[in-house]
């Protein structure tokens, strides 16, 4: 589409620009939710900054390091593989966020629920960067869904709009998490049962896994190790099962507890 943008004498990668905008949007939402949730501004700011830095390092550095090691094992040649991946970035970001929340003595489930909602908004913006850069292209198809779009090599062909579909799905996840969280908070304010702390985090992981599992069917870069599913789909199936089990266990445990209105009063 437009892999580079020309601003007067400057040339800027559209992917880099959208990636930066995605981090800013996700960080802003997470900061606002932490601050409104009772964390001081400085603590919320440092938590978000450390989480972003760790996530960026994991996505750009750890993933590339693993790819380089695999390339070296397979070919015997040490050559740095420039690549990035969301999974390592998410793992590093979540791990760092948990450490920060523990440092500031914020309940981990409650704090992660405040942070994680901004992530799908950032992903939705980031997918537009993928579209402009040509990466993560959809498979070539003659389906009615096809749009003439390029891949990383600049080949414009009728393809599934995988990046657009993923972006819309991410926005839907973002809106869903916000609505569920607001419903939960209102229920708790009137003494009812909302969602358990950590439920928004597990909900995001489950919805993301479901989205990625489905979109891999139409992505051209899906790598198939064995069977009809891609390697990523097997991994996402595992995440979806784990998230579903955690949600069911949490909701069941919460339902067994008495409501505040039912407790005896002195």
Round to whole Å and give the CA distance between 229 and 233.
6
Q: What residues contact residue 234 under an 8 Å CB cut-off, 6+ apart? A: 225
Round to whole Å and give the CA distance between 145 and 160.
6
The whole-number pLDDT of residue 72 equals 60
The whole-number pLDDT of residue 1 equals 58
Taking only the tens of pLDDT, the chain with its 266 residues reads: 566 666 666 776 777 788 889 999 999 999 999 999 999 999 999 999 999 988 888 777 665 666 666 656 666 666 655 556 677 788 889 999 999 999 999 999 999 999 999 999 999 999 988 888 778 888 999 888 889 888 878 788 899 999 999 999 999 999 999 999 999 999 888 877 888 999 999 999 999 999 999 999 999 887 776 778 888 889 899 999 999 999 999 999 888 877 654 444 44
The whole-number pLDDT of residue 164 equals 93
Please report, for residues 51, 107, 108, 199, the alpha-carbon distance to residue 102 in angstroms, rounded to integers and kept in the order given. 13, 7, 7, 18
Phi then psi dihedrals of residue 136, to 5 deg:
55, 40
| Ramachandran assignment for 191, one of left (phi > 0), alpha (psi -120 to 50 degrees), beta (any other) | left
Closest CA to 234 of 220, 218, 213: 213
Q: At what angle do helices 14-36 and 108-116 cross, to 10 degrees?
A: 140
Residue pair 216/162 in contact (Cβ under 8 Å)? The answer is: no
The whole-number pLDDT of residue 2 equals 60
Following DSSP, what letter does each residue of 47-62 receive, concatenated?
HHHHHHHHHHHIIIII
The whole-number pLDDT of residue 192 equals 79
Q: Which two tokens stand for residue 36?
A: 């409104």
* Angle at alpha carbon of residue 112, lines to 247 and 102, rounded to 5°: 120
Show the beta-strand stretches assigned E in 98-203. 147-149, 157-159
Q: How far is CA 168 from the centre of its chain?
A: 13
Show the beta-strand stretches assigned E in 26-169. 147-149, 157-159
Round to whole Å and give the CA distance between 113 and 34.
9
The whole-number pLDDT of residue 20 equals 86
What is the 8-class DSSP label of residue 259? P
Round to whole Å and give the CA distance between 186 and 176.
15
- What is the residue extent of each domain of the chain? 4-39+106-254
The whole-number pLDDT of residue 266 equals 46
The whole-number pLDDT of residue 117 equals 95
pTM recorded for the entire structure: 0.86
The whole-number pLDDT of residue 265 equals 47
């Amino acid at each position: 589409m437009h892999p580079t943008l020309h601003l007067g004498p400057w040339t800027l990668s559209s992917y880099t620009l959208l990636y930066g905008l995605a981090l800013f949007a996700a960080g802003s939402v997470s900061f606002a939710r932490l601050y409104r949730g009772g964390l001081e501004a400085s603590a919320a700011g440092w938590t978000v900054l450390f989480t972003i830095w760790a996530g960026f390092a994991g996505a750009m550095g750890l993933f590339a390091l693993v790819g380089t090691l695999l390339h070296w094992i397979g070919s015997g040649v040490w050559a740095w593989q420039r690549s990035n991946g969301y999974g390592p970035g998410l793992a590093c970001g979540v791990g760092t966020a948990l450490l920060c929340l523990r440092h500031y003595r914020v309940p981990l489930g409650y704090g992660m629920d405040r942070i994680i909602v901004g992530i799908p908004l950032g992903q939705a913006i980031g997918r537009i960067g993928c579209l402009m850069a040509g990466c993560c292209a959809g498979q070539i198809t003659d389906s009615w869904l096809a749009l003439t779009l390029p891949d990383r090599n600049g080949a414009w062909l009728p393809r599934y709009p995988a990046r657009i579909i993923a972006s819309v799905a991410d926005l839907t996840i973002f809106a869903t998490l916000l609505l569920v969280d607001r419903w939960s908070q209102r229920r708790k304010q009137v003494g009812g049962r909302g969602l358990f702390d950590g439920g928004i985090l597990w909900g995001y992981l489950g919805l993301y896994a479901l989205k990625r599992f489905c979109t891999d069917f139409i992505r051209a870069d899906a790598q198939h190790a064995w069977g009809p599913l891609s390697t990523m789909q097997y991994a996402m199936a595992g995440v979806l099962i784990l998230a579903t089990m955690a949600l069911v266990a949490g909701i069941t445990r919460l339902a067994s507890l008495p409501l505040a209105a039912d407790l005896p009063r002195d």
